């Protein structure tokens, strides 16, 4: 069933209109999404987790994306997006653990219209081993562990090593910048900087 979304104006204020997600995309109307990046640290060092979107997704199928994300339904506030983490990764998180990084305004052309979104971005430090996460197959094909030190390599060369976790198995692989859902050019670099600060014990300054 199609989600119902609160429609916003260009400044992020509610218009009072509620429409189905597909209709909001078709008409190019502004709405809100929840983004949560998960960072952690293990014996190999600090890392970010990425997801590969399931092949059946109606937008950007098979692309690399934020650890957990989704649209905020009509009447929801940003922290209601926590349900996305539990649904997609089977990870329960208390709201106070989320570190707000700000809001991004983004427009993307779609085959069926234009996606105009305000992204409410959060960071979470969680050291749960990636192999322990249970993925929602309809939404997430696999999870990738990207070493924070490899983010610069990814930008410099267009590709970097990463470890993929899928259906209880893991393997070393290569990911490429062109595989990511299009975002602001330095988005991932800013997230990596915030993750380094958080993992070092410093509260990140919101970059957005």
Condensed to tens digits (0 to 9), the pLDDT of residues 25-56 reads 999 999 999 999 999 999 999 999 999 999 99
Asked whether residue 1 carries a pLDDT value surpassing 80, the answer given is: no
- pLDDT higher at 5 or 110: 5
pLDDT value, residue 76 = 97
Alpha-helix runs per DSSP H in 95-200: 151-157, 187-199
Quick check: helix, strand or coil at residue 83? helix
Cα–chain-centroid distance for residue 19? Answer: 23
Condensed to tens digits (0 to 9), the pLDDT of residues 162-204 reads 999 998 899 999 999 999 998 888 999 999 999 999 999 999 9
Number of neighbours of residue 26 by Cβ within 10 angstroms: 14
- From CA 147, how far away is CA 172, in angstroms rounded? 12
Q: Assign 82 a pLDDT band (cuts: 50, 70, 90).
A: very high
Alpha-helix runs per DSSP H in the chain: 21-27, 82-89, 151-157, 187-199
Indicate whether this model's pTM tops 0.85.
yes
- From CA 57, how far away is CA 190, in angstroms rounded? 26
Of 125, 126, 132, nearest to 101 by C-alpha is 125
Alpha-helix runs per DSSP H in 29-157: 82-89, 151-157
Indicate the Cα dihedral angle 136, 142, 147, 153, nearest 10°. -130
Mean residue pLDDT of the chain comes to 95
């Amino acid at each position: 069933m199609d989600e119902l979304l609160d429609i916003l104006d260009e400044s992020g204020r509610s218009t009072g209109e509620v429409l189905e997600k597909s209709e909001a995309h078709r008409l190019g109307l502004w709405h809100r999404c929840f983004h949560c990046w998960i960072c952690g640290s293990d014996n190999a060092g600090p890392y970010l987790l990425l997801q590969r979107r399931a092949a059946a997704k109606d937008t950007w199928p098979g692309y690399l994306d934020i650890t957990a994300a989704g649209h905020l339904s009509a009447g929801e506030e940003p922290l209601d997006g926590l349900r996305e983490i539990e649904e997609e990764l089977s990870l329960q998180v208390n709201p106070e653990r989320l570190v707000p990084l700000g809001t991004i305004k983004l427009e993307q052309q779609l085959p069926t219209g234009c996606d105009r979104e305000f992204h409410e971005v959060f960071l979470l430090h969680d050291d749960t081993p990636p192999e322990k996460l249970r993925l929602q197959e309809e939404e997430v094909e696999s999870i990738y562990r990207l070493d924070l030190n490899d983010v610069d390599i990814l930008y410099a060369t267009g590709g970097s090593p990463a470890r993929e976790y899928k259906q209880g198995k893991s393997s070393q692989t290569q990911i490429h910048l062109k595989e990511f859902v299009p975002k602001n050019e330095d988005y991932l670099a800013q997230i990596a900087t915030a993750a380094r600060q958080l993992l070092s014990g410093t509260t990140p300054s919101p970059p957005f």
